[in-house]
Amino acid sequence: VGVSSEKEEVRPSQFCGSILSKHSESRGDFTILLSNIVLGCKFVCSAVNKAGLAKLIGLAGETNVQGEEQKKLDVLSNEVFVKALVSSGRTCLLVSEEVEEAIFVPPSKHGKYIVVFDPLDGSSNIDCGVSIGTIFGIYMAKDKDNATLDDVLQPGNKMLAAGYCMYGSSCTFVISTGNGVNGFTLDPSLGEFILTHPNIKVPSKGKIYSVNEGNAKNWDEPTTKYVENCKFPQDGSSPKSLRYIGSMVADIHRTLLYGGMFMYPADLKSPNGKLRVLYEVFPMSYLMEQAGGQAFTGKERALDLVPSHIHDRSPVFLGSYDEIEHIKELYAACK
Ligand code: AHG
Ligand code: MN
Ligand code: MN
Ligand code: MN
């Protein structure tokens, strides 16, 4: 599908809103929820594009529950998504990286969906204009009028859908509703996301590894061995290239398209790694599996984790099928 080609006609079926429910019993709730998420992404994209002009770079002056200093765009993006999700009338419970407690939506706005989200991923890259993003995952509540934390403290394999929007050289929206992964690019002249990357499949092998090597001193043995092997392969193959942006959205987007390995492993200082289970590890693991790759924590399939708290963290290895098989073998050999 190439909307850049002059010959190619842009059909309605190529727009983001149209990939939605094929179920005859559906009443459009998911479509409305998703169109509000997409609206939030367009709003944040516009703010990111003019951040330097609109005095949106720099610190907001507060610290979040993770102990991180919030940037102005972290705060703005959080407000945008909370408002977009509550006003959709299709959610009952929200979890955001930037809000300490789960948000229970007022009864008058209740809907059956639960949304977990990282409103702005890659905050450290905002002020220098490097790609950043938004990550989200969607669950269904058992009873929309009596949602509890247990509805969200579920394994990632219970997610109905997950996705991200990358504010990069173009604005790209990637989503899975459990039937493969599709990528859409925002056409700024139309204000619509157009299907540009249908049915994304991650190559089964990859030539790139992606990790913050500044933490190498504190890594465990399997991680150290894996990275050593990327640089000095013993089987006669070429060394891998290192790419690390420091925005999970951008690092995962590249991994989905080119293959390879992205990891944020455990280390001595952070035994649970850095990335948060609900709104970073789970949505990206869901997408990676839906694209034919794998996601592993060092102990188990990432989507089988059951978080105990909404801001729990976990080590994670995400990427090409064969790369994850390799790291699994290294962990198995270390037991
Ligand atoms: P956030 O900006 O939402 O807090 O997430 C930051 C995360 C993630 O985007 C990235 O993969 C990781 O932090 C980078 O961490 P290091 O700076 O420790 O490499
Ligand atoms: Mn943060
Ligand atoms: Mn993040
Ligand atoms: Mn964030």
pLDDT digits (tens, 9 = 90+) for 165-198: 999 999 999 999 999 999 999 999 999 999 999 9
As a whole number, mean pLDDT of residues 307-322 equals 98
- 210: which residues sit within 8 A by CB, 6+ positions away? 242, 243, 244, 245, 251, 254, 255, 260, 261, 262, 263
pLDDT in tens, 200-256: 999 999 999 999 999 999 999 999 999 999 999 999 999 999 999 999 999 999 999
Atom of ligand 1 nearest to the CA of 120: 3
**Residue-level length of the chain:** 335
Alpha-carbon dihedral sign for residues 79, 83, 84, 90: positive
What is the pLDDT confidence band of residue 55, given thresholds at 50, 70 and 90?
Answer: confident
| Band (54; pLDDT cuts 50, 70, 90) | confident
Percent of the chain with pLDDT over 90: 89
pLDDT band at residue 15, thresholds of 50, 70 and 90?
Answer: low
Residue of 248, 251, 261 with the most ligand 1 atoms within 8 Å of its CB, for mutation: 248
Ligand 1 centre to CA of 186 (Å) is 24
What gap in Å lies between CA 90 and CA 106, rounded to an integer?
11
Average pLDDT value for the chain: 93
The atom of ligand 1 lying closest to the CA of 214 is: 19
The pLDDT, as a whole number, for residue 22 is 56
In the prediction, which pLDDT does 23 show? 59
- CA 121 – ligand 4 centroid, Å: 4
Q: pLDDT band at 17, cuts 50/70/90? A: low
Task: State the pLDDT at residue 270.
Answer: 93
Give CA–CA dist 278/284, Å, rounded.
10
**What tokens were used for 166?**
């990358």
State how beta strands 208-210 and 261-264 pair: parallel
Is 84 a residue whose pLDDT tops 50?
yes
Residues 282 and 19: their CA atoms lie apart, in Å, by 22
